[in-house]
Structures are given as structure tokens and as C-alpha cells.
Structure 1
Amino acid sequence: MSLFDQILGAAHNHPTVKNMADKLGIDQSVAEKAIAALTDGHQADGDTLEVASAKSGLDQNILSQVMAHVGGEGSLTGFMQLLDQDHDGNPLNDITDMASGLFGKK
């Protein structure tokens, strides 16, 4: 499972993401996909919006609106922190644990 898919799963039905989608007037699934793509893109080399758009297929305008709504590129780290359940500064291990738990491999 890719990092994008893991983040997408963790963002699914998250109340913060739903609230943002409602405020922006976009579907929650688009908001979830945008958050996953932006967070993944923020961790990758290159321009965050370009990477996120290529990864998700979403228009850069929508991605830009989502990123602006969450407070800009620097605040994407905040979404990673929302996913960091054990507060060790590394949300990737928590996402991996969530994903492995879904498949009974924990």
C-alpha cells in the first residue's frame, strides 16, 4: 500500500476533512483525496501542487484552495500530526499500523 493510499485511508471520514469540504463546497471524497495528495506531495521532491496533481488527478486549482484553507504549505505538517497517534513525530508508522490492522497482520 502506497503512502498516498495510507494517508487517504486515514483521512477518510475525518471530521476536520469533512468540515473543510463543507466550507469549500466540495465533495468530502475530493477533500480526502486532496489532503492525501498534498500531504504526500509535501513529503516528495518538487513542487507540492504539481506532485499532488500528478498523483491524484485533481486540478491544481482545487488543490490550491484546499492548501490555502488549511493555512498554506507549511500547515500540511499539521495534517500529518493529526495522523500521528502516538505523538512520536512520525505519522508514517501510525499509518502503517492502521493499514496492517485492517488486514489482520498486526
Structure 2
Amino acid sequence: MSIFDQIKNMAHNHPTVKNMADKLGIDQETAEKAIAALTEGHQAEGDTLDVAADKSGIDKGILGQVMEHVGGEGSLNGFMQMLDKDHDGNPMNDVADMAGKFFGKK
């Protein structure tokens, strides 16, 4: 399971995400996708908004509003830290472990 999917699942039906979506005038599913795409985009090379827009298909203007609402680009690290189970600063190995368990490889 990708980082995008992991974060989107964590954001699914979260009351704070619903509140943000309502304030921004977008549906909750778009807000969930935006948070996941922004978080993944923050970890990738290149501009966070460009990567997130390419990943999600969401307009960069909406993505910018979501990013501002969650506290700016620096706050996206918090979402990655939720996935970093062993607190080694690299959530990718934890996501790979989760995916391996999910698909019965560990």
C-alpha cells in the first residue's frame, strides 16, 4: 500500500478533514485525496504542489488552500511521522513493512 493510500485511509471520515472540506467548499473525498497527495508530494523531489497535482488530478489552487489550512508545507511532516512507526525518520520502510504484512509477505 502506497503512502498516498495509507494517509488517505487515515484521513477517511476524520471529523477534522470533514470540517476543513466544509470550510473550503470541497467534498470530503477531495480533501482526503489532497492531504494524501500533498504529504506524498512533500517527500518527493520537486515542488510539492506540482507533484500533488500530478498525483491527484486536483487543481493546484485547491491543493494550496488545503496545504495552508493544515498549517503550511512544514505541517506535512506530521502526516509522515504518523507513518514512521519506528521513528527512524524514514516512513518508507514502515510503509513497506505494512504492505508486506498486508499482502502476506511477512
**Fold shared, TM-score > 0.5 on shorter chain:** yes
User: Percent same amino acid among aligned pairs?
Assistant: 61
* Aligned-residue offset at 1:9: 2.4
Q: Which residue of 1 aligns with 2:88?
A: 88
Tell me which moved more, 14-23 or 92-101.
Answer: 14-23
* Aligned-residue offset at 1:16: 8.4
Q: Give unpaired runs (5+ residues) of structure 2.
A: none
Instruction: Provide the TM-score with structure 2 as the length reference.
Output: 0.80
Give the total of aligned pairs. Answer: 102
The alignment yields a C-alpha RMSD, in angstroms, of 2.1
Aligned match of 1:14 in 10, 17, 24?
10
Q: Following superposition, which runs of at least 4 residues in structure 1 exceed 4 angstroms of deviation?
A: none
Q: Give unpaired runs (5+ residues) of structure 1.
A: none
Tell me which moved more, 11-20 or 88-97.
Answer: 11-20
User: What is the alpha-carbon distance in structure 2 between the residues aligned to residue 10 and residue 16 of structure 1?
Assistant: 10
1:54 to 2:54 alignment: yes
The amino acid across from 1:57 in the alignment is G
